[in-house]
Amino acid sequence: KQWYQRRVRGEVTSGNVLNEYVGVTQHNHRTGAMFNHTEDLIIAPDEKGMAVGCWDARTAEPHPQLVTGHNNVIRTVAHSPTMPAFMSCSDDFRARFWYYRGI
């Protein structure tokens, strides 16, 4: 069973949808999306492509996916709270550290 994950950012008091972040695929595992350290980007793993999807948090415009080199499903991504870096952890028993200067 394949489904496309739809990430939605909404306004809490009214329930209105502000942005939709579409593009990552997940088959069997649910993984969360997260903000980067400046809250400018939203990052989520893509199970089908074993990549990491990235969107502009304010406009929901997608950035190119990061091909991670993992050989199995990415179970989680964890972003640093203080610098432009994150880790991806996969079922291939690897954790990879990523640092970026800008997207």
pTM above 0.75, yes or no: no
Q: What do you get for the CA distance between the two ends of the chain, in Å?
A: 32
The tens-digit pLDDT sequence of the chain (103 residues) is 333 344 555 555 666 666 777 777 767 777 778 888 888 888 888 877 788 888 888 888 888 888 888 888 888 888 888 888 889 999 999 999 988 776 4
**Token representation of residue 87:** 């880790």
* Rounded Cα distance, 29 and 23, in Å: 16
Contacts with 65 (C-beta within 8 Å, 6 or more apart), sequence order: 23, 46, 49, 51, 52, 53, 54
Q: Which helix (H) or strand (E) holds 22?
A: strand 17-26
